[in-house]
Chains A and B, each alone.
Chain A
């Protein structure tokens, strides 16, 4: 058994009773990385020295008996697009291969306050663009359940590290499904909070109106603890929501009696693997047995969400990534003569193919003569997608469906066809366009690969999303399954 199979409360008690130290927890994390990360490839960088130093500090504090943070001593992995002061942050891009952040993202400050221990930085698709981690400039991450398959993405390193027991929890970011889809593929819990609940300050921007940081954990209760630690208003993020943060852990009552569930037929139709559909229908039976009811509903604009998303996200990306010019940070091309060449060569040599493709798509969509046809049109369709959710939430407490249409696909099977890769995001993208919260929890397996159930809630109603996910988890055994590595 791994230390990380202990529940957070058990770890807390053992620390209190001096049966365990923070150094033990950090040693367990580092030993597990040593043992399995050659196979998994989740970590871009392990900060052994920093983690051990933090562990010693926390152990000293433990001895003093002072009040401890909510995540005291827990080893954490951080997606490599979240800036960590003094610890190289690359976004899995050659362009940022040498970038040492001079400040901490707000979520890192909050994790420090909650007293978790940062073990290292996790692989991802370059600049969070992709759903397989195959777009990392540095290495492949493999699915711990079957290393011939992708871990999903873009937070693939975060999901794989948690699934492989290398860290207690991880942070990821989700722009179109990048927390939930890898969580589903790796059999862990992944929560995308409401847009604005968690500060984006220090998250290297991909698509600013969609990006949101969230936790990847082994169970729903841990997701509630991590969310509790990172949520809240931040003056450094101009789209941070100034809302009261409830007690998420106390919302986990196990009670879903009378809960009304809507199941969009568009999430269960063509292109959904029969095994995934069956797992979702079984989950709905579980909810019935717990006293909830469900009905099929229609979210008619779902089929337009992918097109709208890829225009909006790529347009925002083309603007956000203009900052990478080889002047202030990042790698400057040694082959540049004049200033224009500094821009063009640094960018062309630094960005990988998927990032270039999206910059091209976004620049085209925003360029003179095409703005109305593409960008404005997509923003209007975004309104229609959001209205689908508004209408559904007038009648239903949550919306449930699959997280991804299939279990994790084989490495190399989709990378040469970008459009097919984009279409794989059908179940997660509408949620980002509407800005509402959603969680993926394990709900089955097919051929040894996990399947994820997606539970979507009203804006800022993470308490309900977590309560429903927790009730399901507690009536099933899927979250207890571990890959053999």
Chain B
């Protein structure tokens, strides 16, 4: 499979990245080279192989629903780029 500059633009939009024209061109070339290498995986027949999402034999890790202390709002807001009355402030979503 080969990807075009339009594919790169589409994926950048999905990833919320704004790429400059030269970045788009560089990534198109580099991603094609990387994906061509990934095609190597098709040499293997995996039709009867189960996927591994992670290696531990853990399924549905449950815990008791006990209340614990949460982080105080003032501390959480310490790193907020913009804040008002203990809430994250963002530009208007609906214009």
In the complex, the answer to whether B79 meets A360 with C-beta atoms within 8 Å is no
Roughly how many angstroms separate A381 CA and B42 CA in the complex, as a whole number? 10
Contact A383 B49 (CB under 8 A): yes
B19 to chain A: closest CB distance in Å? 7
Tell me whether B90 and A348 are in contact (CB under 8 A): no
Closest B residue to A436 by beta carbon equals: B55
Q: Which of A339, A353, A359, A374 contacts B93 (CB 8 A)?
A: A339
The complex places the Cα of A207 from the Cα of B53 at a distance, in Å, of: 11
Neighbouring B residues of A357 by C-beta, 8 Å: 27, 30-31
B41 touches A304 (CB 8 A): yes
Asked whether A373 is an interface residue with its Cβ less than 8 Å from the other chain, the reply is yes
Interface string of A421-436 (1 = CB under 8 A from B): 0100000000001110
CA of A337 to CA of B92 in the docked complex: distance in angstroms? Answer: 9
A383-B52 CB under 8 A given contacts A102-B78, A328-B80, A348-B17? yes
Binding stretch for chain B, among A49-57, A234-242, A448-456: A234-242
Decide: A318 and B15 in contact? CB cutoff 8 A.
yes
| B11-A348 in contact (CB<8A) | no
Q: Is the CB of A238 within 8 A of B81?
A: no
* Interface status of A286 (Cβ within 8 A of chain B): no
Determine the chain B residues whose CB is within 8 A of the CB of A99 once the complex forms.
79
In the assembled complex, A477 has its CB within 8 A of some CB on chain B: no
* B79 pairs with A345, CB closer than 8 A: no
**Interface majority SS on B: helix, strand, loop or mixed?**
loop
| Contacting residue for B78 out of A100, A303, A343, CB 8 A | A100
Contact among A337, A344, A378, A433 with B91 in the assembled complex (CB-CB below 8 Å): A337
- Of all chain A residues, the one with the shortest Cβ separation from B38 is A307
CB contacts (< 8 Å) of B56 on chain A: these are 195-196, 239, 241, 435
The answer to whether B91 touches A342, judged by C-beta atoms less than 8 angstroms apart, is yes
* Shortest Cβ distance from residue B48 to the other chain A in the assembled complex, whole angstroms: 9
A325-B16 contact, Cβ under 8 Å, with A238-B61, A360-B31, A364-B7: yes
* Contacts A329-B79, A380-B51 given; does A360 touch B38 at CB 8 Å: no
Task: Give the CA-CA distance A347 to B27 in the complex, in Å.
Answer: 16
Whether A310 lies near B38 (C-beta < 8 A) is yes
Let me know if B46 is at the binding interface, CB within 8 A: yes
* A to B contact number (C-beta, < 8 Å): 166
| B 68-95 contacts with A by CB, 8 A | 71, 75-76, 78-82, 88, 90-93, 95
A382 touching B44, Cβ below 8 Å: no
Q: Which of B19, B33, B55, B92 contacts A386 (CB 8 A)?
A: B55
**Chain A residues with Cβ under 8 A from B40's Cβ?**
303-304, 307
For residue B35, which residues in chain A have a CB less than 8 angstroms away from its CB?
Answer: 361, 364
- Cβ-defined contact, A339 with B91, below 8 A: yes
Q: Given the complex, which residues of B lie within 8 Å of A373, measured CB to CB?
A: 1
B3 at interface, CB cutoff 8 A: yes
Contacts of B58 in A (CB 8 A): 196, 238-239, 241
- The reply to whether the CB of B50 lies closer than 8 angstroms to some CB of chain A is yes
Hey, which chain A residues are within 8 Å of B34, CB to CB? 310, 361, 418-419, 422
Query: Is A209's CB under 8 angstroms from B54's CB?
Result: yes
Give the nearest-CB partner of B51 in chain A: A379
Q: Which of A194-252 contact B (CB under 8 A)?
A: 195-196, 208-209, 235, 238-239, 241
Contact of A330 among B11, B79, B93 (CB under 8 A): B79
A367-414 interface (Cβ within 8 A of B): 367, 370, 373-374, 376-384, 386
B17 touches A382 (CB 8 A): no
Residue of B nearest to A311 (CB): B38
Tell me the smallest distance from the CB of A386 to a CB of chain B, in Å: 6
How many angstroms between the C-alpha atoms of A61 and B57 in the bound complex? Answer: 43
Asked if A383 and B41 make an inter-chain contact with CB atoms under 8 angstroms apart, the answer reads: no
Kindly report which residue of chain B lies nearest to residue A238, judged by CB atoms. Answer: B61
- Check A381–B16 contact: CB distance below 8 A: no
Listed residue (B15, B40, B46, B80) with the most chain A CB atoms within 10 angstroms of its CB: B15
Determine whether the beta carbon of A329 is less than 8 Å from that of B80.
yes
Contact A382 B51, CB 8 Å, known A310-B38, A338-B92, A357-B27: yes
A336 interface hit (Cβ, 8 Å): yes
Distance in angstroms between the alpha carbons of A360 and B92 in the assembled complex: 28
User: Known interface pairs A100-B79, A310-B34. Does A344 touch B17 (Cβ–Cβ under 8 Å)?
Assistant: yes
Nearest CB to that of A98 among chain B residues? B79
A304 to chain B, nearest CB (A): 6
Q: Let me know if A384 and B49 touch, CB within 8 A.
A: yes
Query: In the assembled complex, which residues on chain B have CB atoms less than 8 Å from the CB atom of A433?
Result: 52
Q: A241-B56, A435-B56 are in contact. Are A374 and B38 (CB under 8 A)?
A: yes
> 23 A-B pairs, CB-CB below 8 angstroms?
A102-B71, A196-B55, A304-B40, A304-B43, A304-B44, A310-B34, A311-B41, A322-B16, A337-B91, A339-B92, A343-B16, A348-B19, A356-B27, A357-B31, A360-B17, A360-B31, A370-B1, A377-B41, A377-B42, A380-B51, A381-B41, A381-B46, A419-B30
Closest 7 A/B residue pairs (Cβ): A435-B55, A379-B51, A332-B81, A329-B79, A380-B46, A209-B54, A344-B18
Other A-B pairs, 4, CB within 8 Å; known A332-B81, A364-B31, A435-B56: A102-B75, A344-B18, A381-B44, A435-B54
B residues within 8 Å of A by Cβ?
1, 3, 7-8, 11-12, 14-19, 23, 27, 30-31, 33-35, 37-38, 40-44, 46, 49-56, 58, 61, 63, 71, 75-76, 78-82, 88, 90-93, 95
